[in-house]
Amino acid sequence: MDVSRDKSLANQSSVSEFLLLEFSKVRERQILHFVIFLVLYLATVLGNLLIISAVVFDHRLHRPMYFFLMNLAMQDLGQVSVIIPKSMANSLMNTRHISYSGCVAQVLFFVFFISSDFILLIVMAYDRYVAICNPLQYQMIMNRRACTEMVATVWITALLYAGLHTSSTFATPFCSNVVSQFFCEIPQLLKLSCSSINQIETGVLMLFAVIGLGCFIFIVVTYVQIFSTVLRMPSVQGRQKAFSTCLPHLIVFSMFMVTGWFSHLSLTTNNTSNVNLIFTCMYSMVPPLLNPMIYSMRNKEMKAGLSNLVGLRTSSMIILCSFLP
């Protein structure tokens, strides 16, 4: 009896492909989903490509802050490109399928890009802290070599982190191939595991959720010191510039942190798929869309660089930026 049950379990857990979440079975709604995701994707790609090009081709932007912004744009571009095109293709072709190897690749690259995004936001907060609280030593601390080493550390750490979670997630057999998400997401994949070993990966996710909370506290403490320094500035214009630069970063990081935290904690709760879908869309799609506007479009030097890039006057670029989502 036990042998037959084990064979049945083995056959049941032999997954060659996964079925992703279907937004709707109505064809018109599938097309609507495709159009909405297409608009969001094109807006995100256009905004981030403009930032990358401006930093590369404008020598005035060859400074630490813009070097980090360029890497952030690259990570955001990779993050949305891993998940959105596949979801659009499924809606357009009226299918839910993704191959096993495709799911593995999606998990690996999504975790890689989103974790590098998270770490880089912390590095950028440190950069702003040094620039505002210790401006006399900024050039010495944030030199080219230091910035390059920081970014390299971000990419390498994110790759190791992604490899660790991907290997541990797919090391266990699956009792089902129906993923309650529009892409292969680790918390939802762990719910499909028919082995108790997935408790290890669940514990690791919880551990990193706690570490992420610690990073969030670090960001808050850093910005408390930044704001206390800004409030002591004699120049009103200087205070406004510092606040307009720091507040959006803190808002986006908080949104990224809270939505991602709740989405991954849903592994231990009974939240509905709609709630999980909302949180996932917010932490996976909204920050890459907003980052070009928040970190770049509000910056006069970046506006000038974008104007030179496309050969338009600054006033024309401001009008163009006002129409970006």
CATH number of domain containing 175: 1.20.1070.10
Residue with the bigger pLDDT between 278 and 82: it is: 82
- The whole-number average pLDDT for the span 292-314 is 68
The per-residue pLDDT for 5 is 40
- Higher pLDDT pick, 264 / 157: 157
On the question of pLDDT at 158 being above 70, the answer is yes
Q: Which of 15-19, 44-48, 262-266 has the lowest mean pLDDT?
A: 262-266
Most distant pair of Cα atoms in the chain: their distance: 81
pLDDT given at position 228: 85
Which pLDDT value is given to residue 204? 67
State how far Cα 73 lies from the chain centre. 10
Domain assignment present for residue 30? The answer is yes
Across the chain, what does the average pLDDT equal?
79
Greater pLDDT, 186 or 12? 186
Is 11 part of a structural domain of the chain? no
2 within a domain of the structure (yes/no):
no
Find the domain containing 310 and state its range: 17-322
* Number of structural domains found in the chain: 1
In a domain, 10, yes or no: no
Q: What is the structure's pLDDT at 101?
A: 93
Q: Determine what percent of the chain falls in helix, strand and coil, rounding each to the nearest 5.
A: 80, 5, 20
**Would you list the DSSP string of 113-180?**
HHHHHHHHHHHHHHHHHHHHHSGGGHHHHT-HHHHHHHHHHHHHHHHHHHHHHHHHHTTS-BS--B-S
**Average pLDDT of the residues in 2-8:** 40
Percent of the chain with pLDDT over 70: 77
Please compute the mean of the pLDDT values over residues 64-91 and round it to a whole number: 92
